[in-house]
Structure 1
Amino acid sequence: MGAILCPPGPHAILLVVSVTQPFTDIHRRAAEDQLAALGGGTWRYSMVVFTGVDKLTKGVFIEEHIANTGESLQWLVERCGSRYHAFDNTRKETEDNTQVPELMEKVEELITDNQGWYFEVNELILLEEEQARRALEEERMRMEEHARQRDQMIGGPPRELRLLLLGWKGVGKSSVGNSILGRRYFESGQETELCLRRQALVSGRRITIVDTPGWDWFSVRRTPKRIRQESQRGAALLRPGPHTLLLVLPVVSSLTARKRRTLLAHIETLFGDSACLHTMVLFSCGDWLGRTPIEEHILRGGRELQRLLEYCGNYYHVLDSKTPGKDRSVSVLLDKIEEMIRENGDKAFLPIQTEWLSEESSYSSDNTEPEDDCRGCQLQ
């Protein structure tokens, strides 16, 4: 691109070579490719300019250096019509420095040999080169931006993920919440009656989780109205809305058609038809699998389990709920949640609905009023 900055064209193309660096066949091919990119006839206007000749062994002249360096450098000099010039970097400030005038004399001699003509630049080739250069620059900037965002994720303010735990009674929702947060924030082993919100920093993210009371296994109607309202209220505690509904499912339980329909009926009745975009199946009691991959378990689980996963966009994960803070798959789970958020685009979270804030639903734990923004929670 620099060639077109010398309109109407350069009289001389100076190939700068340092004598302190070996000139290999790789360098020769690079020089050849660069001049070829400018178009034909470039070698007629080319001259090699050596720098750093003061670094040569005392008594060694540039001609001897050319002869001893190898065939690649000799080829370059010959390709330039044996036109070359040497610069001693230590003489640049002295009064008797005649290096530049001597170089200009050689350039004028080159112009005379070319009958005063200058090199005509092939602008089409340069345009293609410039487009390729810009593409590389854009890719470099994209990678730098990606690195900057990654650094911000690590060292800057933590990202926020708002998660709502849902599912049947007794499936281990509280234990799952403890596993994700890395501590015993929720009381496990007993029935959850009220929504409880807890928050912690996990893998560079600010994770806010609301644990909810469990649903009936076989019927929405058999789930008390208070429990259904409490589920909605749990979502309202994650203002402006939960990023992900984590549907907790024990790996030890079988899924029949009736159970599947009941789960989906709870989700759609309480959170609407678009809730499927934000729902992920989270298998609890993962230690029961032993060495069996979760994918194999899903295949053995039958068509109903597969249909449930299809409803959730095939987003699923498995956790060992017995070792809070020690399960490395928690970080993988958070990565999957962020992938789901990216896939949802401008629908990154499930917006809170007015009916979820109904006065009838006044059953909640201490310090979890829906008016409170979850961003105001204290890390516990």
Structure 2
Amino acid sequence: MISVSALSGVQFIAEFRILLLGNKGAGKTSLANMILCRQTTSPKSTAQCTKIRGVAAGRLVTLVDNPGWWKNFLVDETPEFQKQELVLSMAHCPPGPHAVLLVIRVDVLYTEKNSRAAQQHLELLGKDIWKHTIVVFTYSDRLQDQTVEQHVESEGEAVLQRLVGKCGNRYHVFNIDRYSGTQVKELLEMIEDMVSGNGGSCYEMDQTCLYEVKEMRRVVEEKAHKRKMMVQEQRDVHKGHNCSLSSIRMVLLGYRRSGKSSIRNNIFGRENTGLKRTSQCVKTQSEVSGNVITVVDTPGWWKTLAIRDTAELDKQEILRSICLCPPGPHALLLTLRLDMPFRDKEMNSLEEHMGLLGERAWKHTILLFTHGDLLGDLTVEQYIESEGKDLKLLVAKCRNRYHVLNNKNLLDGGQVTELFKKVEWMVAENEGFYYEMHPRTYKEVRRKWRLMEKKSKMRLKVKPRRTINSVKGAGQYLTELSLILLGYGEAGKTSASNTILGTTDFGFKRTSCCVKRTGEVEGRLLTVIDTPGWWKRLPIEEMPQFIKQEILKSVSLIPPCPVSFLLVIRLDSSFQEEERRAAKDHMDLFGDMAWNRTIVLFTCGDWLADRSIQLYIESEGEALKWILGKCGNRYHILSNKNQRSSAQVTELLKKIEELVAENKACRSAGMWDLKEKTENRTENMQSKERGLQRQTEDFDSDDDVFTIDTKYNIFK
């Protein structure tokens, strides 16, 4: 791959108009400062389009810096106001930019999804944008001995090569940590070359599209102003009846990563250091501005998933939060991020989880927007109006009560004081009442929690089913082992495979076919096979035939040595009857003997925090207990966020060695029995599929169209 060389007859550009685009953290603002040789402190996030004029390499330059998108988020996952801002950037450099610089930092992994996100965001400006685009790689000094060409060719299976190819193989490399007039001069020369190659023209966007976005922004501004006036009038009604509270009790609710823990620190004037995901309710009480403030932080749910996917322990924690601030909270603070869209999936998930507290909870709820710094000069009302009907419906359910917190200025006491005032206004609106759980529900929550704790302590006494004392060579150190990881999609099989081998050889993508890797772990030759996941709740009859064949194929890939199955289940999600049935049916593909060789591997072990695994098992109920019973109560917990911890892998291998001893599977002969039976099952499946295909062909030859539903025709 070569960069563009100078063309003969290059057109001289009196003033360069340049548009900077890229994901958050790519270095757009630093690059802008470097081009114009501006001395600045650490750059801030660009909230809105910023137009800068100056001189670079003796030439006049107009730069338009844009807000970045989240690197892993496609265009549908970007809020409307940010997409509008990107389109409106064209209006800052009429009639259009000479060059669009797609900024990518070279010192971090760039994946296929990152590339798709970049393409989708750029094409908001039109499909022809690529003729006027140059890729600019930032932080080039961190490549060390590697050239940018080597990096582009090796990174992410040629992802960067394809992206640079869309730009006509135009790219430039920048060290933005140190100013160099040469690299700025070379960039401007490259832009001149590109403009000449485009017939001397700049990029002009479809004016109809630009007009439509401007009109949308104008309508949003009008509606936002009306909303602001309406909310102010609503507050004025209760102004004379304001309820002054000497103590305020609040519960934080919301999806994961919505910023709940940061809000807690903000309220109490603490720095955000060492924040972890909230696994259990955290109660904090202190005096703030002369008031006794109690805040209970709760575990978050997955942003777009239904409540059925939320672990029972998390649901119990949400209910328990009310019990931790008796007699009840004055306010339920429902957190949302301003830098993420809010659609029907988010709305459905939120309503279901809030439904745990009953319909009365909405009377005591304030919508709390985080990351308010990303709005720039826009108002929160403009954000609400631009995001669409679902967010407006949510605001209405909260009776137009909302507040914005600036996460870049968490120690600003003014925004917290304003939040307390809004809580007092809401209490006045509710005639002095706080949220109180129904006594019967309150008793039931406490009863259920005590029962789960009691049963979990009893489960501690339940030991794995073993015949280890009667097996010769029990606990023997094995020099060679094979592991086959099975489970539903997103259970964490691939991450667990990487953790076990202490590598990233399995990659990070969804596994679509069997992947075999070998490595030495504590003196053992370990063969690990990752398999495609099945749909978590889909009956096996509805699974594609090739997936079942691929899962069965895993056994044919193992060497002649002891083998164990790891049935992977993630801890931070629910496990119900449908999951049990799907797991049973897929395990049964290997025959009943497979259960005797299986250990349940729980991933996301960090989610448990201080809670016991027994408490999780008891909370999930009979479906999970049945699976564990089939595996002889053998299980292990793995934290894939702590991959450097060898102790968890060492303990797992010890359990596997004990399992091998129990099954008298140290001899390779026992392994080939399983292999032969599995291969026979695979052959039967393929034979049935070929037969069905012939039948279908016969029917297709008739005049009448007839189709066969093959989804229930699998071997038993």
Q: Which amino acid aligns with 2:370?
A: S
Q: How does 1:45-124 map to 2 (within 5 A)?
A: none
> CA 1:322–1:199 in 2, change beyond 3 Å: closer, same or farther?
farther
Question: Would you say 1:200 and 2:286 are equivalent positions?
Answer: yes
Contact persistence 1:232–1:271 (CA under 8 A): yes
Partners in 2 of 1:344 and 1:172 — Cα distance?
27
Quote the Cα distance in structure 2 between the aligned partners of 1:188 and 1:254.
Answer: 27
Report the Cα distance in structure 1 between the residues aligned to 2:330 and 2:382, rounded to whole angstroms.
28
Distance 1:227 1:189, change over 3 A: same
Q: Deviations over 1:242-284 (max 9, x none)?
A: 111101100011111121121011111x211111101111001
Which residue, out of 438, 443, 467, partners 1:354? 443
Report the CA distance between 1:349 and its aligned residue.
2.7
Task: Tell me, in whole angstroms, the C-alpha distance in 1 between the residues paired with 2:327 and 2:260.
Answer: 22
Spell out, residue by residue over 1:321-367, the C-alpha distance to the aligned partner (whole angstroms, 9 max, x if none): 2333324111111100110011111533333622332325669979x
- Provide the C-alpha distance between the structure 1 equivalents of 2:451 and 2:404, rounded to a whole number of angstroms: 35
Q: State the one-letter code of the partner of 1:326.
A: D
2-structure distance, mates of 1:159, 1:198: 16
Q: 1:335 aligns with which of 402, 412, 421?
A: 421
Query: CA, structure 1 residues 325+305, in 2 after alignment: closer, same or farther (shift >3 Å)?
Result: same
Q: How does 1:239-258 map to 2 (within 5 A)?
A: 239-258=326-345
**Are the aligned partners of 2:280 and 2:299 in contact in 1 as well (CA < 8 Å)?**
yes
1:249 and 1:316, CA in 2 relative to 1: closer, same or farther beyond 3 A? same
1:265 corresponds to which residue? 352
Q: In structure 1, what residue type is equivalent to 2:317?
A: E
CA deviation after TM superposition for structure 1 residue 235, in Å: 1.5
Q: Distance in 2 between matches of 1:188 and 1:291?
A: 31
* Contact 2:328/2:434 (8 A) holds in 1: no
SS at match of 2:307: coil
Q: Residue 327 of structure 2 aligns to a residue in which SS?
A: coil
Q: Who wins on radius of gyration, i.e. which is larger?
A: 1
Is the CA contact 1:282–1:316 (under 8 Å) kept in the aligned structure 2?
yes
Distance in 2 between the 1:161 and 1:331 partners? Answer: 12
**Equivalent AA in structure 2 for residue 321 of structure 1:** N
User: d(CA) in 2 for partners of 1:245 and 1:188?
Assistant: 25
Contact 1:195 1:364 (8 Å CA) reproduced: no
Residues 179-218 of structure 1 mapped to structure 2, 5 A cutoff? 179-184=266-271, 189-217=275-303, 218=305
**Structure with more contact order per residue of length (Cα contacts < 8 Å, sep ≥ 6):** 1
Residue 262 (structure 2) aligns with: 175
Of the candidates 313, 323, 332, which is equivalent to residue 226 of structure 1? 313
Residues 285-296 of structure 1 correspond to what in structure 2 (within 5 A)?
285-296=371-382
The one-character-per-residue Cα deviations of 1:278-305 (angstroms, maximum 9, x if unpaired) are 1111001111111211111111111110
Task: Describe the superposition over 1:75-104 as per-residue Cα deviations: whole angstroms up to 9, x where unpaired.
Answer: xxxxxxxxxxxxxxxxxxxxxxxxxxxxxx
Give the number of equivalent residue pairs. 211
- Equivalent residue number for residue 275 of structure 1: 361
- How far apart are 1:187 and its partner, in Å? 6.4
Paired amino acid for 1:349? Y
Inter-CA distance 173–187: structure 2 relative to 1 (3 Å threshold) = farther
Report if aligned partners of 2:361, 2:435 keep a CA contact under 8 Å in 1: no
Q: How does 1:308-319 map to 2 (within 5 A)?
A: 308-319=394-405
Percentage of pairs with the same residue = 35
SS of 1:259's equivalent in the other structure is helix
2:274 & 2:408 partners in 1: Cα distance? 11
Distance 2:395 2:452 in 1: 30
Residues 246, 188 of structure 1: alpha-carbon distance in 2 compared, 3 angstrom cutoff: farther
Alpha-carbon distance in structure 2 between the residues aligned to 1:305 and 1:288: 18
Instruction: Give the equivalent residue in structure 1 for 2:409.
Output: 323
In structure 2, the residue matched to 1:123 is none
Q: Root-mean-square deviation (CA), in Å? A: 2.5
Is the contact made by 2:253 and 2:332 (CA closer than 8 Å) also made in structure 1? Answer: yes
Distance 1:189-1:183 versus aligned 2 partners, 3 A rule: closer
Q: Which amino acid aligns with 1:298?
A: I
Q: Report if aligned partners of 2:330, 2:433 keep a CA contact under 8 Å in 1.
A: no
Residue from 236, 241, 250 that aligns with 2:323: 236
Which amino acid is 1:354 matched to?
Answer: K
- Tell me if structure 2 keeps the 8 A contact 1:198–1:208: yes
* Alpha-carbon contact 1:278-1:340 (below 8 Å) kept: yes
Q: Secondary structure at the match of 1:328?
A: helix
The answer to whether the aligner puts 1:159 opposite 2:273 as a matched pair is: no
Residues 165 and 212 in structure 1, CA contact (< 8 A), matched pair in contact too? yes
TM score, norm. by length of structure 2: 0.28
Name the SS of the counterpart of 1:191 in structure 2: coil
User: CA 1:176–1:227 in structure 2 vs 1: closer, same or farther (change >3 Å)?
Assistant: same
Distance 2:321 2:408 in 1: 24
Check the 8 A contact 2:357/2:437 in 1, yes or no: no
CA distance in 2 between counterparts of 1:364 and 1:274 reads 31
What is the distance in 2 between the residues matched to 1:224 and 1:297?
Answer: 32
- Gap change, CA 1:303 and 1:231, over 3 Å in 2: same
Gaps of 5+ in 2: 1-239, 454-607, 612-716
> How far apart are the structure 1 equivalents of 2:274 and 2:287?
21
Alpha-carbon distance, 1:236 to partner: 0.9
Q: Given the two structures, how large is their TM-score scaled by the length of structure 1?
A: 0.52
In the superposition, relative to structure 1, how do residues 190 and 360 fare at CA in structure 2: closer, same or farther (>3 Å)? Answer: farther
**Structure 1 runs, 4 residues or longer, greater than 6 Å off:** 363-366
Paired AA for residue 444 in structure 2: E
CA distance in 2, matches of 1:330, 1:219: 32
| Structure 1 residues 182 and 360, CA gap change in structure 2 (3 angstroms) | farther
Opposite residue 210 of structure 1, the aligned amino acid is V
Check the 8 A contact 1:319/1:327 in 2, yes or no. Answer: no
Most deviating of 347-356 and 254-263: 347-356
Q: Equivalents in 2 of 1:177, 1:295: separation in Å?
A: 24
Q: Aligned partners of 1:349 and 1:365: how far apart in 2? A: 29
**Residue 341 of structure 1 contacts residue 349 of structure 1 at CA under 8 Å; is this kept in 2?**
no
1:241/1:351 contact within 8 Å kept: yes
Unmatched segments (≥5 aa) in structure 1 = 1-145, 367-380
Structure 2 equivalent of residue 62 of structure 1? none
- Decide whether aligned partners of structure 1 residues 360 and 322 sit closer, same or farther in structure 2, where only a CA change above 3 A counts: farther
Deviation at 1:199, TM superposition (A): 1.4
